A and B are shown apart, each in its own frame.
Chain A
């Protein structure tokens, strides 16, 4: 799964935004430009899938903080996302003449809009479009494009299937009648109701969005043995994550190599139990006479780098956001950290936010997204690589980091 595009209207500091994402994206911008609000779009989707719309709105601070207060209250808040890649296959789908077809789903477009009202909200639109290719199973005829549209209104959920010319497929071939009669609970969205969407894992696409903002202090503490095995947003359960990695020889070998890349003085990493109730990790340094140092005395930079490696290489999530991943990292290592982002992006989609000119310097300009405020004060996102003025400066050996420091990337 890959997020191809996100869009929103009247959400937080955005008036009208559409952004295309690549495998690897670096979001930069001045303070209060709207970086955190952009991340909140992903957080909102994730929270809806995990906890429901009501809770997701509450986690954003309440309905009144969802919309932009400068925009008229009768303008709805709309949020959309497009996924692409191989998303699932339906085999043996019968057409009305008895022919058999395979539907391969390759793109999902999902959007919903809310009317924010005094003390609450109302769902105005809840729409899903799943694009597919339709291929005859016996090799007779050519493949064509089709799409399944699912519209959720106050009156229920409606399904509509478009197929290539000359092929007619009843919707019941894909959605059994008993599921078509399902009515979602009032005030909920399609992504909260997996039975309404004929695509296994549809809800998971959203629920698995991972957002990290590592705090180097929390992972240092010994934590209870029982806890989540995937990395927490602040990295606080790092000891448990490391325990899982170190138990697998292949993962342990990989961790050791990647640690060497950024922390060459670290010889070994281990986890230890304390009183059979809690767990912490230790690091043995090359110059430490084989004496393991407990996590409580390890530097912020080391803790941050270990968290970063775990998120980039050992987290199974297909889309991760990491806020300011270069925190406490020495400038000499920044080039290696940036190289790791590109490396890890071979297997997952990555969005990085940063203020660090060093990250910008070592990044490919094509990977950079610049967030800024327009003349009306709304947040906008642009690609500096597409700006002629920026290209001209780069040709004349003005470094990209220099343009960033001078706040000229948005020219």
Chain B
């Protein structure tokens, strides 16, 4: 059985994959390993990808769409940065990982955290998430961990299109 390596941008993505998706992704793999690639030199990311391929293991790269207008444009940008990257293995988060966090909350869970229930989270950015943090949370990390405790993948599939695509591609 081979391993799955997931390239995550930073601590917020790592926390999300660790808390919500790692156990789901584990099916069919000996283990799931997370690699934080934000700030890592492009050549080093390429080295990881080559090494993973040489070991016969699998990988995914998760990236926010950021300022790019389309998924294709973002994938092309990543391909320019990482020459070894197979763009079929790229998962684009729209717009940012904070949207995937909020997507997994049903109305009851949102209210229990002091958050306004959202019908969809495709437009959530880091800044918008930060503005939504209830006053009684002195830490956004604390809030994110509370969201993970209440997370429903089923609800997330309904509220975020990029999460739905990820689910269809990697978990269904």
Query: Chain A: residues with CB nearer than 8 A to chain B?
Result: 250, 254, 257-258, 260-261, 313, 335-336, 339-340, 343-344, 346-347, 361-362, 397, 399
Q: Is the interface of B mostly helix, strand, loop or mixed?
A: helix
Most buried by A among B11, B39, B140, B146: B11
Is the beta-carbon distance between A399 and B141 smaller than 8 angstroms? no
Is the beta-carbon distance between B36 and A339 smaller than 8 angstroms? no
Interfacial residues of chain B within 106-151, with CB under 8 A of chain A in the complex? 130, 136, 138-142, 145-146
Distance from A392 Cβ to chain B, minimum over Cβ atoms (Å):
16
B145: contacting residue among A250, A261, A313, A344, CB under 8 A: A261
Is the beta-carbon distance between B142 and A258 smaller than 8 angstroms? yes
B140: contacting residue among A250, A260, A335, A346, CB under 8 A: A346
Could you give 19 example pairs across A and B, Cβ below 8 Å?
A257-B141, A257-B142, A257-B145, A257-B146, A258-B142, A260-B145, A261-B15, A313-B138, A313-B142, A339-B11, A339-B12, A340-B141, A344-B139, A346-B130, A346-B138, A347-B138, A361-B39, A397-B41, A399-B39
Is the beta-carbon distance between A254 and B12 smaller than 8 angstroms? no
What are the residues of chain A within 8 A of B15 when measuring CB–CB? 261
Other 18 A-B pairs with CB < 8 A, given A343-B139, A346-B140, A347-B138: A250-B136, A257-B145, A258-B142, A260-B145, A261-B141, A313-B142, A335-B10, A335-B11, A335-B36, A336-B11, A339-B11, A339-B141, A343-B141, A346-B138, A346-B139, A361-B39, A397-B42, A397-B43
Distance from B47 Cβ to chain A, minimum over Cβ atoms (Å):
14
- Report Cα–Cα, A254/B14, bound state, in Å: 19
Asked if A399 meets B41 with Cβ closer than 8 Å, knowing A336-B11, A344-B139, A346-B140, the reply is yes
- Report Cα–Cα, A336/B42, bound state, in Å: 21
Asked if A339 meets B10 with Cβ closer than 8 Å, knowing A261-B15, A362-B39, the reply is yes
Query: Chain B: residues with CB nearer than 8 A to chain A?
Result: 10-12, 14-15, 36, 39, 41-43, 130, 136, 138-142, 145-146
Is the beta-carbon distance between A343 and B140 smaller than 8 angstroms? yes
B141: contacting residue among A258, A361, A362, CB under 8 A: A258
- Report Cα–Cα, A260/B144, bound state, in Å: 12
What are the residues of chain A within 8 A of B14 when measuring CB–CB? 335-336
Nearest to A312 among chain B residues (CB) is B139
What are the residues of chain B within 8 A of A362 when measuring CB–CB? 39
Distance from B64 Cβ to chain A, minimum over Cβ atoms (Å):
15
Is the beta-carbon distance between B10 and A254 smaller than 8 angstroms? no
